[in-house]
Amino acid sequence: MCSILGLSSDRDVAPIIVDSLKKMEYRGYDSVGVAVKNESEISVKKGVGKVKDVNNDIQMDKMQGHSGIGHTRWATHGGVTVENAHPHLCNSSSIGVVHNGIIENYAELRKDLEKNHNVVFKSSTDTEVIPNLLQVYFEKSHDVKRAVMDTVQRLKGHYAFVALFKNGEMVGVRNHEPLILGIGENDLLLTSDVIGLPENFNSVVYIDNNQFVIIDDHKHKIYDFQGHAAQFAIKKIPKNYQNVTKGEYEYFTAKEIFEQPDTILVAGDEDNDYLQKIVDFIRDSDYVYVTGSGTSYHISVIAKYLFSRFAGKKVEHVMASEMKYSSRYIIPNSTLFAISQSGESADVLEAVSICKKKNAKILSMVNSKNSALARDSVFSIGLNCGPEIGVAATKSFTSQMAILYKIADKLCDGCLAVDFKTVSDAYAKMLSDTSKIQELAKAIKDIQNLFVIGRGIHYPISKEGALKIKEITYVHAEGIAGGELKHGPLALMDSSTYVIVINPDDDSYVDNISSVHEIKSREAKVIGISNKPDPSYDYWIQIPTIREDLYPLIEIIPLQLIAYYLALERKIDPDYPKNLAKSVTVK
Ligand code: F6R
């Protein structure tokens, strides 16, 4: 979602803020802005577009001042306009605010501020109530701490914000959205993600929920919302999480797809103890719910197939955003296994909070071990695949799946015995020559609709493949269980339709070939992803022959590549697809 930043330093902060915003852009990229405090005022520059382009136009990085705030936006309230871009100032221009999250009661607060305090609003955002409430309370008490405490009493919703006061003080406030304080030699930086920290920072404080930080004269103090001084721990910045670059690749999405021969080998590796503890928890629970959103939800569905087939353990998958509608009855002594790359998805955190209230124990699988989800769990296993910046989840998906295989293997006392080196070699082989997929992408670049079918455990892979295609190519794509074709979707097939069939040589093969014939009879074209050729395929994307139960781990690679090369053919930046952002921290 949005990224927020606040920097207090002994040098000009604007160039550093602009650099950090470029690194945090994956959280939202429809508009950007910076405000700095100089001798006499808070000045603001903002614009619509990516950080680099807006900065080229209006030189935000040339602003002068030793404290400042910055923002990249993913619009929730109000269109994508310069007026709605952050930072927002209060009416007296003495306080500037950048905000991530949603103020649920903003309409009511706006009315009150207009009626009782003559505030004139300049944007249609929910954010603008925050600097104006701060102004009202600061004018009363002339005390920043008091003004923050009074303001947060009035705000409903999940939010984090950074406020810059004209008197030089800066405040960072956290209520359910991420906020981190980075500590450098002469710098203090508030940020939504450690990725935003410049290289000279080496320690961080993860601000807890319902806490705020006041930075004054290069010193920081942390309080809870009641104003009591809070305990906090200073931690080292996790390795790999700074100076994240694209390396030799043009896009993060490509880098992350091509990293998979390495990342698959280390999935969950740092946490072997946790893996065993998670296994024990699952074994001892009367019932296990698995949840996640988007790609991580597809992993929950895979967990169901994998655990029931190999570990004799029935689990129920629940889409995180659906938990509140399906949780009236949670079986006692249950475990919720929550899966999330970011560990910050609001829907997943909500599912956790619902299940906690029903006494379920929480396990999780995350990429960021300091995320809210990891901190909310009894045990949390790390993907260990390094930061994923491309909006489309790629390497995190295969790492999540690898960890599921490891858990299933322990649950069945070693019956799976996966040699991940074989999987890594299969990845390397598929990634070493992508020319056929590039040709296919050229041939289908103008299609409007695409179907992906798979059966059994390959069904969630078909959903995942379709999700990749729709999010980075804007082609309408649907993942369908092969057997369901005849129950409706066949009506959509004609000579302009393409269907990708996930068809490894396993127990789903014969049924899939029947589906292929049904599709071909309607003149639609078939793209077969298989280790075996078949004369009915219009295109054959070959995958290596591998042990039968490992196909789910490898067949996703060509689907990721089809999505990636199709995005390039369609002139879409795969790292920043329209209307999306990574880390969906709003409900
Ligand atoms: C798809 C994608 C999203 C995320 C979803 C959950 O490529 O990236 O669907 O999978 O927003 O995100 P996490 O796993 O961070 O909870």
pLDDT band at 364 (very low <50, low <70, confident <90, very high): very high
Over 90: is that where the pLDDT of 40 sits?
no
Residue that the structure tokens 């249609």 belong to? 124
- pLDDT value, residue 333: 84
- At residue 254, the pLDDT reads 98
393 Cβ closer than 6 Å to some ligand 1 atom: yes
pLDDT band at 327 (very low <50, low <70, confident <90, very high): confident
Catalytic residue among 37, 46, 406, 582: 582
**How much distance in Å is there from the Cα of 583 to the middle of ligand 1?**
7
Tell me, using a 6 A CB cutoff, whether residue 368 lines ligand 1: no
pLDDT bracket for residue 239 (50, 70, 90): confident
pLDDT for 54 beyond 90:
yes
Percentage with pLDDT > 90 across the chain: 87
First to last CA, the chain: 11
349 lines ligand 1 (CB under 6 A): no
How many CA atoms within 13 Å lie on the side-chain side of 21?
37
pLDDT classification of 200: cutoffs 50, 70, 90? confident
The Cα 390–Cα 118 span in angstroms is 44
Closest to 212 measured CA to CA, from 181, 166, 167, 168: 181
Q: Long-range contacts: 467-471, Cβ < 8 Å, 24+?
A: 467/294, 467/295, 467/298, 468/392, 468/394, 468/559, 468/560, 468/563, 469/559, 469/562, 469/563, 469/566, 471/391, 471/392, 471/563, 471/577, 471/580
The structure tokens listed for 60 are 């935000």
* Residue identifier of the C-alpha nearest atom 7 of ligand 1: 392
- Give the number of the atom of ligand 1 that is nearest the alpha carbon of residue 468: 7
348 Cβ below 6 A of ligand 1: yes
- CA 353/CA 383 separation, integer angstroms: 22
Q: How far is the CA of 582 from the centre of ligand 1 (A)?
A: 7
What is the distance between the alpha carbons of residues 419 and 40, in angstroms, rounded to a whole number? 65
User: Ligand 1 pocket test: which of 195, 253, 323, 345 has the largest number of ligand atoms within 8 Å of its C-beta?
Assistant: 345
pLDDT at 314 over 90: no
CA angle 530, 393, 303 (to 5 degrees): 65
296 alpha carbon – ligand 1 mean position (Å): 6
Of all protein residues, the one whose alpha carbon is nearest to atom 9 of ligand 1 is 294
Mean pLDDT for the stretch of residues 391-396: 97
**Is the CB of residue 296 below 6 angstroms from any atom belonging to ligand 1?**
yes
List CB contacts of 143: < 8 A, sequence separation 6 or more.
Answer: none
Whose Cα sits closest to atom 5 in ligand 1? 294
The span from the CA of 106 to the CA of 2, in Å, is 18
Q: Tokens 């949670």 sit at which residue?
A: 330
Q: Is the pLDDT of residue 244 over 80?
A: yes
Q: Are 178 and 158 in contact (CB under 8 A)?
A: no
- Predicted local distance difference test score (pLDDT) of residue 4: 97
Residue 374 structure tokens: 């990891």
Pocket test for ligand 1, best of 26, 257, 293 (most atoms within 8 A of CB): 293
Identify the residue whose C-alpha is closest to ligand 1 atom 3: 294
Distances (CA, A) of 326 to 349, 356, 377, 387: 16, 14, 21, 33
Any ligand 1 atom below 6 A from CB of 364: no
Where on the phi/psi map is residue 426: left (φ > 0), alpha (ψ -120 to 50), or beta?
alpha
Q: Residue 490 is which amino acid?
A: L
Q: Where are the beta strands (DSSP E) in 272-429?
A: 287-292, 315-319, 334-340, 361-366, 379-382
* Contact between 86 and 122 (Cβ < 8 Å): no
Task: Report the separation in Å between the CA atom of 294 and the middle of ligand 1, taken as the mean of its atom positions.
Answer: 5
- CB 392 near ligand 1, within 6 Å: yes
| Alpha helix ranges (H) inside 167-245 | none
Angle between helix 435-443 and 551-569 (nearest 10): 50
Any ligand 1 atom below 6 A from CB of 386: no
Ligand 1 centre from 80 Cα, in Å?
Answer: 23
509/528 Cα distance (integer angstroms): 11
> Which residue among 350, 584, 585, 586 has the greatest number of ligand 1 atoms within 8 angstroms of its CB, and so is best to mutate?
584
246 Cα: distance to centroid of ligand 1 (angstroms): 20
Q: Is the CB of 291 under 6 A from ligand 1?
A: no
Q: What is the C-alpha to C-alpha distance for residues 582 and 585, in angstroms, rounded to an integer?
A: 9
Distance of CA 587 from the midpoint of ligand 1 (Å)? 13
Residue among 17, 25, 5 at smallest CA distance from 164: 5
Domains of the chain: 3-241 (3.60.20.10), 249-418 (3.40.50.10490), 432-576 (3.40.50.10490)
Catalytic site residue 2? Answer: yes
Mean pLDDT of the chain, nearest integer? 94
